Amino acid sequence: MIPLSVLDLSVVTTGTKPAAALQNSIDLARHIDGLGYVRYWLAEHHNLASVASPAPDLMIGQIAAVTKNIRVGSGGVMLPNHAPLVVAERFKMLEALFPGRIDLGLGRAPGTDGATAHALRSRLDRREGDDFLERLSELVLWETRGFPAGHPYNNVVAMPDDTPLPPIWLLGSSDYSSELAAQVGMGFAFAHHFASYDAIAAMTNYRSHFKSSGWRETPHGILAVAAVAAETDAEAEKLASSMDLNRLRRDRGQYLPLPSVEEALAYPYADAERASIARNRSRLFVGSPATILTKLQPMIAASQPDELMIITAVYDHDARKKSYSLLANAFGLGEKAAA
């Protein structure tokens, strides 16, 4: 069976304030740590009422400190929001504190709206357009010390200088990052849970064009999917109703805390709204463990990911923990951990 990992958004609900959502992330990580999952990644979002964590590096340190088995990383750091030197310093520190357990996942989107992105970057150098590749190159140079002769950064060292950067992963929802990750020889994670681009094409493109590098000798593709598991299909459908309503609202530009199941079930959906939810269900896998396995297998077989990363953003925290437990059992993670 394919290895499993976790993507956590520190979900804020109508009944869970942001501070409690952050504590829930730590509690979920403790729970995950003993189930056989490979890694636990945290996202970066800003000015979003349903996501509590804008700083994955801070959460990585907290979670790595209370776990022992899983790798902990960013899914991801939105590189355009940060000076590359700052990213290098913070993740070298994390790697020094938790050697061999940290991942540096990088995204090229701002993770927020235009005004907030401007506020985040207003004191940074004002580069125009998409400068992700430029920032990625600079980040790599802080590690390789390959700045040209006479460059002012030759006199600047990213501390701690006796610790390497952790493995770098490029995140994407289109063909751009899959192609770039292949060309520079880094790991790749595809966000199927919100992408409009075909996951199979992105994963296939990455694997077929991969060039070995000092970062990786072989490709490693992670497919991130949204899934909700429960004991029965009916119970899973109830849990997923919150995500259905939340997605419907987000499509209208309404970025609200995740609604309860009761609110979602009581909502008076119009026919067009039900059709929109049905279309969005192509990005969400819902059901009992057996049902989810059946739904996922064709995509796994076609895209051939090295790893499946699960995001479960349901209203009830205990139901979220239960979903990850059920999926761990369904994919035989406990058997792998015992072996």
pLDDT tens by residue, the chain, 339 residues: 899 999 999 999 999 999 999 999 999 999 999 999 999 999 999 998 999 999 999 999 999 999 999 999 999 999 989 999 999 999 999 999 999 999 999 998 766 777 877 777 765 555 666 789 999 999 999 999 999 999 999 999 999 999 999 999 999 998 899 999 999 999 999 999 988 899 999 999 999 999 999 999 999 999 999 999 999 999 999 999 999 999 999 989 898 999 999 999 999 999 999 999 999 998 999 999 999 999 999 999 999 999 999 999 999 999 999 999 999 999 999 765 444
The number of CA neighbours under 13 Å toward the Cβ of 56 is 28
Instruction: Give the N- to C-terminal CA distance of the chain in Å, as an integer.
Output: 14
- CA atoms of 144 and 138, how far apart (whole Å): 10
pTM: 0.94
Identify whether 76 is preceded by a cis peptide bond (ω within 30 of 0). yes
| Residues 224/192, Cβ–Cβ less than 8 Å | yes
What kind and span of H or E run contains 188? strand 187-191
Contacts of 54 (CB under 8 A, 6+ apart): 44, 45, 46
Domain 4-230+284-331: give its CATH superfamily.
Luciferase-like domain (3.20.20.30)
3-state secondary structure of 285: strand
Contacts of 159 (CB under 8 A, 6+ apart): 89, 92, 93
* Domain residue ranges in the chain: 4-230+284-331
DSSP state of 164: P
- CA atoms of 219 and 336, how far apart (whole Å): 22
Query: In 3D, which of 77, 79, 82, 75 has the Cα closest to residue 40?
Result: 75
CB atoms within 10 A of CB 27: 16
> With the C-alpha atoms ordered 141, 142, 146, 147, is the resulting torsion angle positive or negative?
positive
> With the C-alpha atoms ordered 153, 157, 159, 161, is the resulting torsion angle positive or negative?
positive
- CA atoms of 139 and 170, how far apart (whole Å): 13
